[in-house]
Amino acid sequence: MVINTACSITEDISWVGVNDHSTDLFEALWPLPKGISYNSYIINDDKVALIDSVKPDFLAEHRAKIRSIIGKDKAIDYLVINHMEPDHTGAIDQLRSAYPDIKIVGNHKTLEMLSSYYDIDNQVFAVKDGGRLSLGRHELMFQLTPMVHWPETMMTYDAAGKVLFTGDVFGSYGAVDEGLFDDEVQERKVADEVLRYFSNIIGRYGEMVLRAIDKIKTLETGIVAPTHGIIWRKKPQRIIELYDCWSRHQTEPGVVIVFASMYGNTRIAVEALTRELVQNGLPVTVHNLSHSHASFVLRDIWRYGAAVLACPTYNTELFPLMDDLVRLLENKRISNRLLGIVGSYGWSGGAAESLRQFAEKNKWELVEPVIEFRGSARKGDMAQTIKLAGKIAEKLRETDKTSE
C-alpha cells in the first residue's frame, strides 16, 4: 500500500504525516535504512486541531494533506504540541503564516521552549495536567508525561475516538509507506526497528516511560498514535507492553557479542567463544564494531540478557571504538545485564581492566573468567572460552527461571 494522501484513522481524525526517505541519520546520529515517518494528525470538528507537525522539508506535502481534509478555506484553530523537538515543530513559523489565527497548545514547558526555539510567545494556549479542550464533538484531554524524552513531553487523549496521541513514546523507525497500521504490516518485519528506536531515543528514560504508562492505564485506548512509525489500532496494548518490558530491562535469554580486532587475534578468540555459546543452545548475535553502527549494537544489547565485549588494548587503554560504545551504554543507562570480557594486548594490558571498571560502575554482573591474553590466544585461553560460555548459559538459565 502506497500512502500519498491523508489517511483516515476514525471518522473525524486523519493522518496527515509524511515519510522521510532522504535523511541518512536521525538526530544526526542514528541510521535510517528504512526511513522514518513524522506523524501528524488532524481532527476535523467544529474547531480544527492539528496534533503535532512535521519537519519543514516536508511542509508542502503536509499542507496538501491537511487541505485534502479541511479544504482550502477552512482554518486550523489549534496546533497541539505533544513534543517540541524540531522534527515535529520545525515548520511552525510557516504554519502560523498559512493559518494566522492558529493557537498553539502546550504545557508551560512547551511554551518556554517555543520562546527559546522560535521566539513565539503570542497566540499560545497553556494547558495543565488533566486539562481539557473542546472542539465540538471531540474533547481533548492532556496528560503531562515529562521526560519521555524531553521535559515538555505530554500526551493528548480523544475520548470520542479513543485515540491516544503519544508523541515519541510508542514510536518506531521506518517509513509507513508499506503500511500505516499494525494490522497492515507483519510485526516481525517492524519489530527490530521498533526496538532500535526505543533503545536509541527513549530507553534512557525508562523510569519515566513506566510512570507515563501508569498514568494512561485508566484511559480506554483503542488507538495508539505516536509521532513516528506505525499506528497501533488492532493491538494497542501490544506496543505499550513492549515499551513496558524494555523500560524494566526485561531481556531475552541470548547473547550479543561485540568485538573489535585489529589483526584478527581477538576475532579468533571471539569465534571460539561464539561457537561455545551456540553449543550451549543460546541465540547469539555478533557485531564487529568496525562495521556495525552503534545504533544496531545498542538495540541488540537492549534485547539480550548477556553481552560479551571483546577488544584489544590501544595505547594502554580501551580500543577507541569500544570506548565510544561503553560511553554510549553509560549514557543510555543500560543495567541488569551479564557481561563477559575478552581483552588482548601486545605490550601493555588495559582493555580488560577498563571493561571490568565499566561493569562495576554500571552494575552489570561480571561473568568470570575474564579472558585476557598477550599476542594471540593459546590453548589455555581457548579453554577459558568453554568455561565462560558455560557460565553465561548457566546464569541466563537462572535469570530466565526467576523471571518465569
The site for ligand FEO (CB under 6 A) is made up of 83, 85, 87-88, 149, 168, 227-228
Q: Shortest gap between Cβ of 252 and ligand FEO (angstroms)?
A: 26
Q: Shortest gap between Cβ of 149 and ligand FEO (angstroms)?
A: 6
Nearer to ligand FEO (CB atom), residue 62 or residue 88: 88
Cis upstream peptide for 149 (omega within 30°): yes
Nearer to ligand FEO (CB atom), residue 179 or residue 226: 226
Nearer to ligand FEO (CB atom), residue 87 or residue 300: 87
Q: Shortest gap between Cβ of 212 and ligand FEO (angstroms)?
A: 14
Local structure of 251: helix, strand or coil: coil
Distance between CA atoms of residues 128 and 142, nearest Å? 7
Distance between CA atoms of residues 293 and 291, nearest Å? 7
DSSP string for 43-112: EESSSEEEES---GGGHHHHHHHHHHHHTTTPPP-EEE-S--SHHHHTTHHHHHHHSTT-EEEE-HHHHH
Q: Shortest gap between Cβ of 75 and ligand FEO (angstroms)?
A: 26
Name the residue number minimizing CB distance to ligand FEO: 85
Provide the Cα torsion 74, 80, 83, 86; round to 10°. Answer: 30
**Size (the chain), residues:** 404
Q: Shortest gap between Cβ of 153 and ligand FEO (angstroms)?
A: 8
Establish how many alpha carbons lie within 13 A of residue 360's alpha carbon, considering only the half-sphere containing its beta carbon. Answer: 6
Nearer to ligand FEO (CB atom), residue 62 or residue 228: 228
Nearer to ligand FEO (CB atom), residue 168 or residue 276: 168
* CB of 256 closer than 8 Å to CB of 297: yes
- φ, ψ at 271 (rounded to 5°): -60, -40
Q: Shortest gap between Cβ of 106 and ligand FEO (angstroms)?
A: 14
* CB of 69 closer than 8 Å to CB of 91: no
Nearer to ligand FEO (CB atom), residue 30 or residue 99: 30
Nearer to ligand FEO (CB atom), residue 62 or residue 149: 149
Q: Shortest gap between Cβ of 40 and ligand FEO (angstroms)?
A: 11
Cis upstream peptide for 369 (omega within 30°): yes
